[in-house]
Amino acid sequence: MLSKTKIKANSKDYQTAKVVTPRERFINIVVFVLLLLLAVVMVFPLIYMVATSFMTKNQILSGSLTLFPDPILIGKYSEVLNKANFISGIFNTIKVEIPVLIIGGFTSSLAAFAFAKMNFRGKNMLFLALLATIMIPFAVVMIPQYVLFSKLGWTNSLLPLIIPGCFGNVGMIFFLRQNLYSIPSDLMDAAKLDGCNYFTTYLRVFLPLMKGALGTQLMLWFMGIWNDYLAPTIFLRSEETWTLQVVIRSFNSYYAIQSDYALIMAASVIAMIPTLLLFFIFQRVIIESIAISGIK
C-alpha cells in the first residue's frame, strides 16, 4: 500500500492526476492570456517586418500603422532577388557552409569518438583544455587572425571562414561525446573481434549510431554560419566574396538613405527564411539541445 502511493507521487502524470481547483483553473487562464499577449509582442516586430516588405513607399512613410498592406506588393522581393550581389551573397554563404559542415563535422565527430570511447594518457586534461577554449572571445583573437589571413593571401577569398571551421567545433565535440556515452562501449570490443581498426570502428559502428545527434549539431552549426557577421565583415576584403549577412547590412546602409525600407525588409526576410524554416521543422530537437547545455 505504502509503495503504491509512493509510485503515484513520483509518477509523471501526478500533476494531471491532481484535482484542479476552480481557483487554480482561473489562475491558469489568466497566466495563459498574459503569456499569449507577451508572445504576440515578441513576434510583432517580425510581423511588422514582413508587412513593411510588402508596402509602397507612401504607405511606409504615411506614419499610420498598417499591418495589411493594400495593395500587397511583391515587387520588392523580385527586385532583391534580381540584385547580383544578393544572389552572390547567398552562394558565398553556401560555399562556406558545405566544406565546413562536411569536413568540420567529420573532424569533430572523430575527436568526440576518441574522447568518449578510447583510452589514452592525458585524455581528461586535453578535453578540459579544449573545452576551455570556448571561453576565449572571438574579439580577442580577431586582429591576429586577420593579420594571419592577409599574410597568407586569403582575405580575397572565402578561406578565412572555411579553413578554421574544418578543424572542428568544440561545442559539437562536447555534445557528441555526451551522446556517445549513452552508446555501450562493448561495441568497441565487438568491432575489434570483427577485424575493425579504430577508424573503421568509428566509421562503420559509431558514426551511424550518432547520426541523430550529429544531425542536430550540424543544423545548429549551419544556422551559426548562416547568421555569422563579425568574422565575414572583418576577413572578407573584396565585395565579390561577401556573405549574405554582410550584403544585407550593406543594403541597410545604402537603401536607408533612399528610404527604401520595403527593399531592406524584403532582403532581411529572405535572409532569415532558411534558419527559421529549419527551426520550425526541427524545433523540438533544437530546443532540447539548448536546454541540455544549461543543465550540464
Partner 1 sequence: MEKTKVKVQMSEMAKREERWAWLFIAAPFIGFLCFMAYPIVFAVVASMSRWTGINSLLGNMVGLRNYIEILQDKNFWTAMLNTVIYMIGIPIGMILGGAIAMGLNRKIPMKRALTTMYYVPVVSSLVAVSILWAWVFNYDYGLLNTIYKFLTGNHGPNWLGDETMVKVAMIIFMTWKGLGTSIILYLAGLQNIPRDYYEAAEIDGANGWQKLRNITVPLLSPVTFYILITSLIGGFQVFVEVQVMVPAGGKNYSAATVVFYLYEKAFEHGQLGYGSAIAVILAIIIFIITALNFWGQDKWVKTID
Residues of this chain, 273-292, that bind partner 1 according to CB under 8 A? 275-276, 279-280, 283, 286-287, 290-292
**Hunting for cell 491558469 — which residue is that?**
28
How far apart are the C-alpha atoms of 241 and 226, rounded to whole Å? Answer: 14
Which is closer to partner 1, CB of 94 or CB of 272? 272
Site for partner 1 in 144-163 (CB under 8 A): 144-148, 150
> How far apart (Å, rounded) are the C-alpha atoms in residues 178 and 172?
10
Interface with partner 1 in residues 202-221 (CB under 8 A): 202
Q: Cα–Cα distance between 76 and 143 in angstroms, integer?
A: 38
- Tell me which of 222, 252, 260, 285 binds partner 1, using CB under 8 A: 252
Residue 13 dihedral angles phi and psi, to the nearest 5°: -85, 25
CB under 8 A: which stretch of 82-90, 178-186, 208-216, 271-279 binds partner 1? Answer: 271-279
**Helix, strand or coil for residue 74?**
coil
Preceding amide of 164 cis, omega within 30: no
Asked if residue 10 binds partner 1 (CB under 8 A), the reply is yes
CB of 83 to partner 1, least distance (A): 16
Residues binding partner 1: number (CB under 8 A): 100
User: Mapping DSSP to helix (H, G, I), strand (E, B) and coil, where does residue 224 land?
Assistant: helix
Site for partner 1 in 79-98 (CB under 8 A): none
Of the pair 85, 275, the CB lying nearest partner 1 is at 275
CA-CA distances (angstroms) from residue 249 to 10, 13, 143, 227, 229?
A: 53, 49, 22, 12, 9
Task: Please identify, among the stretches 73-81, 83-91, 195-203, 210-218, the one whose residues bind partner 1 according to the rule CB under 8 A.
Answer: 195-203
Given the complex with partner 1, which of 81 and 148 has the nearer CB atom?
148
Stretch in the footprint of partner 1 (CB under 8 A) among 82-90, 94-102, 206-214, 272-280: 272-280
Closest C-alpha among 243, 249, 246, 262 to residue 77: 262
Question: In whole angstroms, what is the distance from residue 265 CA to residue 113 CA?
Answer: 44
Q: Binding partner 1 by CB under 8 A: which of 20, 74, 190, 281?
A: 20
- In whole angstroms, give the CA distance from residue 101 to residue 123: 25
Site for partner 1 in 105-134 (CB under 8 A): 107-108, 110-111, 113-115, 118-121, 123, 126, 130, 133
Q: Which of 16, 58, 78, 238 binds partner 1 (CB under 8 A)?
A: 16
Cβ atoms of 192 and 201 within 8 Å: the answer is yes
Figure out which of the listed residues 26, 138, 181, 254 binds partner 1, where binding follows CB under 8 A: 138
